[in-house]
Structure 1
Amino acid sequence: MTPSDENVRVVPVTRRRPDPDDRVTWEPSGRWVRGTKGEVTVVDSRRPVLVWEPGRPVPLYAFPTDDVRMDLLRRTEKPATRRHAGATVFYDLEVGGETVPRAAWTYPAEELADHVSFEWFGRDVLDHWYEEEEEIFVHPRDPYKRVDALASTRHVQVEIQGTVVADTRTPVLLFETHLPTRYYFPREDVRLDLFTPDDHRTRCPYKGVATDYWSWAGDGDVPRNIAWSYPDPLPAMSAITGRVAFYNEAVDIVVDGERLERPVTPFNDMLAR
């Protein structure tokens, strides 16, 4: 049954898309978010707000102060360097006999009054973050970013220094917004004998923890940790379990006979180190 025009209401909403200008933008999230330090739950909120800062490609969460253990926060001096879009009030976190400097802050925006944000990226301020019952890493998931892992029958090859190191007709293609397609190979289709294992590990909010890395054992100027695998990815990415992927930025990939151009991404700087 279709409602008549007089019964249709246009309801204003507070959701705002991220805006790439000089403003802090935000929107409410319906996720239940918790953050812990040791055995202490520091944040427990069913009313988080996603916040995008100017020039920052990923969001952070801000939480109502009623959902934060404010008794564990101590107001501290503003850092000398500019951080967090005009924030002027910063807090140290004191828990379990440990002090984490400038772990949290408040934004000056009136709409975000009585909200507190915590540092995530690049600093282990809290030990664990959860959305509902699933642990997440590095930063909150962006609702405007999509990650899909799709089984394929494309013929995909990887070459390093002219040597074919991977060749498959059963890849899983991982499509992630704003990044090149990553090709995940069955291990039996990768020449792992040409690599040396590495104890490197990384975390991703969409895929989980990559604990298996390999570096090229042959000649040539090839970055370390050029290949990786997720032995136990997050449930939504189960299709890539145990498969091996390579950085498109530093290897040659041929798909159905077509050699792809090496992309330029934020990972190029990391690979050059």
Structure 2
Amino acid sequence: MSQTDRQWPLQDGGYAAISPKSIRVQIAGVTVAESKQVLVVAEARKLPVYYFPRSDVRTDILIASTDREQHGDKGEATFFSLQIDGRTVERAAWAYADPQGEGSFLKGYISFVWKQIEVWHEDEERIAAHPHNPYLRFKAVPSTSHIQVYIGGELVANSRRPVIVSEAGLPDRYYLPKEDVRMDLLEPSDSASRCQYKGSAAYWSAQIGGKTYSDVVWSYPEALPEVHEISGLLCFYNEIVDALYIDGEQWSPVAKDNSVNA
């Protein structure tokens, strides 16, 4: 692959791309990194990760630690702390001194642990949830498929009017009307999350047979305009429920990891 390309595929079905935007990270008002040549690495079944060219990072405030971690087939990552105005932010960044295999293009790049950075910007837009994937294939499609969800031996959802949300590299998700869900078996959770593509999510846990299935259901009460079809609908975590049937055929789990690297 050539890094003069704007985008190239990864063997796992994901993508690496040069962001079309300027990306900036700040802590305590100090710009730690800013670049118009950030790599967006979107591995299959993972959220995208920004990698900054070392030349666009304030390396004078990075302090290498003894913290090391093996990251799949990319090799060993070294973690760094940030020291800003007498303040130390531990485990704030990482880099591969000698990235291996397909990840060899990451040599000379530094990434930041999302939750350790106070402010992220794409151009002048502040982002809060995770990096955008500029090449994401994403769609929400109303369907007449018959969806049945079982938890703890109970049929908790039975719908023929789902909205199917497909994202590149992730399992399809089935969003169902509340009228087709046993809401009497669900309790609102204090958990919340935000997706850059869909909006802010609320969660429910299921109480069945004396057992609690935590955060097994989520919903976007006011989904973003691009996926307005799922506003107010409920989605079950396929990998947690006992069984999910699609037109009578049981859904097969797909190994996945939605966490940002590190």
TM-score (ref. length: structure 2): 0.72
Deviations 1:201-234 (A, max 9, x none): 3444543442x21111221656322111123444
Gaps spanning 5+ residues in structure 1: where?
Answer: 1-10, 268-273
The answer to whether the Cα contact below 8 Å between 1:137 and 1:208 also exists between their aligned partners in 2 is: no
Counterpart residue type for residue 101 of structure 1: E
Corresponding residue for 1:127?
A: 118
3-state SS in 2 of match to 1:265: coil
3-state SS in 1 of match to 2:116: coil
| Alpha-carbon offset, residue 51 of structure 1 | 4.5
Q: Max radius of gyration: which structure?
A: 1
| Change beyond 3 A, Cα 1:162–1:65 | closer
| Change beyond 3 A, Cα 1:57–1:153 | closer
Pairing of 1:208-223 with structure 2 (within 5 A): 208-210=199-201, 212-219=202-209, 223=213
Select which of 156, 159, 166 maps to 2:157. 166
Pairing of 1:167-186 with structure 2 (within 5 A): 167-186=158-177
Q: Output the CA distance in 1 between the equivalents of 2:218 and 2:95.
A: 37
Q: Output the CA distance in 1 between the equivalents of 2:80 and 2:112.
A: 9
The answer to whether the Cα contact below 8 Å between 2:63 and 2:82 also exists between their aligned partners in 1 is: no
The answer to whether the Cα contact below 8 Å between 1:65 and 1:116 also exists between their aligned partners in 2 is: yes
Q: Does 1:17 align with 2:25?
A: no
- The two structures, once aligned, show a CA RMSD in angstroms of 3.7
Pairing of 1:47-196 with structure 2 (within 5 A): 47-51=37-41, 59-65=48-54, 67-70=56-59, 73-82=61-70, 85-87=75-77, 90-95=79-84, 98-108=87-97, 115-120=109-114, 124-132=115-123, 133=125, 135=127, 137-138=129-130, 140-142=131-133, 146-196=137-187
3-state SS in 1 of match to 2:148: strand
Counterpart residue type for residue 82 of structure 2: L
Counterpart residue type for residue 113 of structure 2: E
Corresponding residue for 1:227?
A: 217
Which structure has greater strand proportion? Answer: 2
Counterpart residue type for residue 79 of structure 1: D
Gaps spanning 5+ residues in structure 2: where?
Answer: 99-103, 258-262
Counterpart residue type for residue 230 of structure 1: Y
Counterpart residue type for residue 175 of structure 1: S
The answer to whether the Cα contact below 8 Å between 1:75 and 1:92 also exists between their aligned partners in 2 is: yes
TM-score (ref. length: structure 1): 0.70
| Change beyond 3 A, Cα 1:56–1:44 | same
| Change beyond 3 A, Cα 1:131–1:237 | farther
Q: Which has the higher contact order (CA 8 A, sep 6+)?
A: 2
| Change beyond 3 A, Cα 1:153–1:201 | same
The answer to whether the Cα contact below 8 Å between 1:158 and 1:165 also exists between their aligned partners in 2 is: yes
The answer to whether the Cα contact below 8 Å between 1:129 and 1:137 also exists between their aligned partners in 2 is: no
The answer to whether the Cα contact below 8 Å between 1:76 and 1:102 also exists between their aligned partners in 2 is: no
3-state SS in 2 of match to 1:77: strand
| Change beyond 3 A, Cα 1:64–1:228 | same
3-state SS in 2 of match to 1:214: strand
Q: Output the CA distance in 1 between the equivalents of 2:213 and 2:223.
A: 24
| Number of equivalent positions | 244
Q: Output the CA distance in 1 between the equivalents of 2:35 and 2:111.
A: 12
Identity %: 38
Counterpart residue type for residue 162 of structure 2: P
Select which of 27, 50, 53 maps to 1:37. 27
The answer to whether the Cα contact below 8 Å between 2:68 and 2:76 also exists between their aligned partners in 1 is: no
